[in-house]
């Protein structure tokens, strides 16, 4: 009985949390321009999305491409920078380590708006013209701390003798890094990468302040501009539904392939 109530509570919360997403999915199957209007079942919006014949032109596809490109570049860069730095931080001692770790924690504590405004002022101060490069630099700055925090605990679990043994057996430091250290750190790097990719994908405020005036749009800024104009591009509904389904399928595959361990690892992300 207790278990029944406990499960019921969880499922009520889940239904509440998922209702906006279900709302998007339901209204992706109608042609109505305005979100929330039902004009009968139709898959036309999916057709539009797949053929690229989108209301209001190519902006949405361009925004999707920008979002993915920025997320991919920032996540790869953060993964490399974060892993190298985690190894460095792991070997730092005392006050120096504390100082770096404090700086590393700042982007995670800072609200997006502050990060956005502060980086905006930096680029103005340095006279950088704002665009793709500044957005990517900004994303690297708030994504890398998550990679560092994913890789650091792995380093603590490593046997340091294996790396030393590789060196003793004649490996160059680069070989020892590439063939011994990196493979052992891979799970941490991977979850850092996934976190960084997710943070970048979902970002709105930082992109908003650092994209300059060259008309660079990501999905978030595109949706914001759309909503300000007073009407969402209808094809956003099928697009968001598809993105959610892809995530469900990917996680489902990971789960069935690696069983419960994967699920547990995932939670510790």
Interface residues for another protein in 23-82 (CB under 8 A)?
23-24, 35-36, 81-82
Closest approach of another protein to the CB of residue 248, in Å: 7
CA distance linking residue 137 with residue 132, whole number of Å = 9
CB-based contact 119:209 (threshold 8 Å):
yes
Residue 200 has φ and ψ, to the nearest 5°, of: -65, -45
Residue 244 as a binder of another protein (CB under 8 A): the answer is: yes
Residue for token pair 């490996």: 171
Binding residue for another protein, selected from 43, 129, 175, 264, defined by CB under 8 A: 264
Closest approach of another protein to the CB of residue 245, in Å: 11
Closest approach of another protein to the CB of residue 137, in Å: 7
Binding residue for another protein, selected from 70, 71, 75, 89, defined by CB under 8 A: 89
Contacts of another protein in 130-189 (CB under 8 A): 137-138, 140-141, 144, 148
Q: Which of residues 44 and 101 has its CB atom nearest to another protein in the complex?
A: 101
# residues contacting another protein (CB under 8 A):
82
Residue for token pair 């305005």: 34
DSSP per-residue string spanning 29-75: GB--SSTT---SB--HHHHHHHHT--TT-THHHHHHHHHHHHHHHHH
CB-based contact 132:145 (threshold 8 Å):
no
Binding residue for another protein, selected from 220, 234, 235, 238, defined by CB under 8 A: 220
CB-based contact 171:180 (threshold 8 Å):
yes
Region binding another protein by CB under 8 A among candidate stretches 39-47, 48-56, 185-193, 199-207: 199-207
- Considering only CA atoms, give the Rg of the chain: 22
Region binding another protein by CB under 8 A among candidate stretches 41-49, 51-59, 184-192, 256-264: 256-264
CB-based contact 239:60 (threshold 8 Å):
yes
Q: Which of residues 9 and 50 has its CB atom nearest to another protein in the complex?
A: 9
């Amino acid at each position: 009985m207790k278990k029944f109530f406990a499960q019921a509570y969880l499922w009520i919360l889940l239904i509440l949390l998922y209702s906006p997403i279900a709302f998007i999915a339901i209204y992706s199957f109608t042609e109505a321009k305005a979100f929330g209007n039902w004009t009968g079942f139709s898959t036309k919006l999916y057709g539009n999305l797949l053929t690229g014949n989108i209301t209001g032109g190519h902006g949405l596809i361009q925004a999707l491409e920008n979002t993915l490109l920025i997320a991919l570049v920032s996540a790869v860069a953060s993964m490399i920078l974060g892993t190298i730095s985690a190894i460095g931080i792991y070997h730092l001692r005392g006050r120096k380590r504390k100082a770096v770790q404090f700086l590393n924690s700042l982007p995670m504590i800072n609200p997006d708006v502050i990060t956005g405004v502060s980086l905006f002022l930096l680029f103005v101060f340095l006279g950088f013209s704002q665009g793709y490069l500044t957005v990517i630099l900004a994303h690297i700055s708030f994504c890398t701390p998550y990679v560092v925090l994913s890789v650091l605990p792995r380093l603590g679990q490593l046997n340091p003798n294996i790396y030393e043994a590789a060196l003793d057996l004649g490996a160059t430091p680069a070989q020892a890094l590439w063939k011994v250290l990196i493979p052992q750190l891979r799970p941490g790097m991977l979850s850092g990468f996934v976190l960084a990719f997710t943070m970048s994908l979902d970002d709105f405020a930082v992109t908003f302040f650092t994209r300059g005036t060259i008309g660079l749009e990501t999905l978030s800024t595109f949706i914001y501009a759309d909503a300000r104009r007073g009407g969402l591009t209808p094809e956003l509904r099928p697009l968001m539904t598809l993105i959610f389904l892809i995530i469900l399928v990917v996680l489902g595959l990971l789960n069935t392939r690696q069983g419960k361990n994967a699920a547990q690892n995932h939670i510790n992300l």
